[in-house]
């Protein structure tokens, strides 16, 4: 009865949570490296690109789930000197609406989704040869060790492709600068996490009900569909993780040079 529920948690929700935690940790280290090197101004300057993408990602999902937008600030460098907030999207929602509650989950993780999507688009535009050569992780069986090994190998291969298969050094430099700006601000804040948690609880209840329904009507074919969705999703977020790691390396070099 619970096969669908367990599968959704194992290959969809858990990876999203794990990627979110890792990417958030890496980006906090990025900010820390820049701050310790007295280059906090650089973090703010990078926010000119990264912060609007972060906030627009929130805004899009808020609108998709019919949340009521009360105030939006896509980039506020001067005011951030006082409160440390470069941008925000304030909204309210109907607590009695299941749909709007579920939307809190997607709104909470929106910066990760939006950031990864923009980075993929930039790669396609600036580094088409790299984009065409990317290795994607496919889930053809539920073997955690096999999946982790595939992820590790594909990450190493794709990182190598970024720096060896580019068609233009100028485009590569532009891409690295833009990816640094975007991924550095692709974090999930504490408030985002709180909102996502509320939505996650509602999603878990919904998936539990769906799993019972599928068992009653013997609709087990959806298992294969979940594996396909998980394959694309994991590959998508893995690239976001790669960009965050590259950004971490850049921020660490900046820190070393400044000290």
**What pLDDT, in 10s, does the model give residues 175-191?**
999 999 998 888 888 88
Whether 82 is in a domain gets the answer: no
**Does 94 fall in a domain?**
no
What would the mean pLDDT of 107-116 be, rounded to a whole number? 92
| CB contact at 8 A, 187 and 28 | yes
**What three-state secondary structure class fits 91?**
strand
| Distance separating alpha carbons of residues 228 and 6, to the nearest angstrom | 16
User: How far apart, in whole angstroms, are the C-alpha atoms of residue 216 and residue 1?
Assistant: 8
- Helix residue ranges, H only, the chain: 3-8, 14-36, 40-64, 80-83, 98-108, 110-126, 128-133, 144-164, 169-184, 190-216, 222-258
Element at 68 (helix H, strand E): strand 68-73
Query: What is the H or E stretch that residue 90 is in?
Result: strand 88-92
> Is position 64 within any domain?
no
User: How far separated are the first and last CA of the chain, in Å rounded?
Assistant: 59
Separation CA 71–CA 67 (nearest Å): 12
Does residue 105 belong to any structural domain of this protein? no
Residue 30 has pLDDT above 90, yes or no: no
Q: How high does pLDDT run on average in the chain?
A: 86
Q: When comparing pLDDT for 57 and 150, which is higher?
A: 57
What tokens were used for 31? 């900010």
- Inside any domain, residue 18: yes
* pLDDT for residue 255: 84
Residue 181 included in any domain: yes
Total number of domains constituting the chain: 1
What are 68-99's pLDDT values in tens digits?
Answer: 999 999 999 888 888 878 999 999 999 999 99
Of residues 238, 39, 73, 48, the one with CA closest to residue 152: 238
Q: Residue 23 burial (CB < 10 Å; 0-12/13-18/19+)? A: buried
Strands 88-92 and 68-73: antiparallel
Please tell me the pTM assigned to this model: 0.88
User: Is 83 contained in some domain?
Assistant: no
Q: Around 130, how many Cα atoms within 13 Å sit in the side-chain half-sphere?
A: 26
Spatial separation of the C-alpha atoms in residues 168 and 131, rounded to whole Å: 13
Give me the domain span that covers residue 253.
Answer: 3-46+111-193+200-258
Which positions ≥6 away from 211 have C-beta within 8 Å?
1, 2, 3, 4, 5, 8
- With respect to residue 253, please indicate whether it lies within any of the assigned structural domains: yes
Residues linked to residue 100 through DSSP beta bridges, in sequence order: none
More confident residue, 72 or 235: 72
């Amino acid at each position: 009865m619970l096969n669908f529920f367990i599968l959704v948690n194992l290959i969809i929700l858990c990876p999203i949570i794990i990627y979110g935690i890792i990417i958030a940790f890496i980006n906090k280290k990025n900010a820390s490296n820049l701050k310790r090197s007295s280059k906090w101004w650089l973090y703010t300057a990078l926010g000119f690109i990264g912060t609007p993408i972060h906030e627009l990602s929130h805004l899009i999902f808020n609108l998709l789930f019919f949340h009521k937008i009360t105030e939006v600030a896509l980039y506020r460098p001067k005011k951030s000197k006082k409160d440390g907030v470069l941008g925000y999207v304030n909204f309210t929602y109907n607590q009695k609406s299941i749909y709007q509650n579920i939307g809190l989950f997607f709104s909470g993780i929106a910066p990760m989704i939006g950031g990864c999507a923009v980075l993929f688009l930039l790669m396609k535009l600036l580094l088409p040869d790299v984009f065409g050569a990317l290795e994607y992780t496919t889930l053809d069986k539920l073997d955690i060790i096999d999946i982790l090994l595939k992820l590790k190998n594909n990450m190493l291969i794709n990182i190598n492709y970024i720096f060896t298969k580019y068609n233009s050094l100028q485009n590569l430099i532009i891409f690295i600068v833009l990816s640094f700006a975007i991924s550095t601000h692709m974090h999930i804040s504490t408030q985002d996490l709180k909102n996502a948690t509320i939505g996650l609880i509602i999603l878990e209840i919904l998936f539990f009900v769906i799993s019972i329904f599928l068992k009653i009507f013997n609709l087990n074919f959806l298992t294969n569909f979940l594996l396909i969705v998980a394959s694309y999703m994991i590959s998508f977020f893995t690239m976001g993780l790669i960009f965050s790691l590259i950004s971490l390396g850049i921020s660490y070099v900046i820190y070393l040079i400044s000290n």
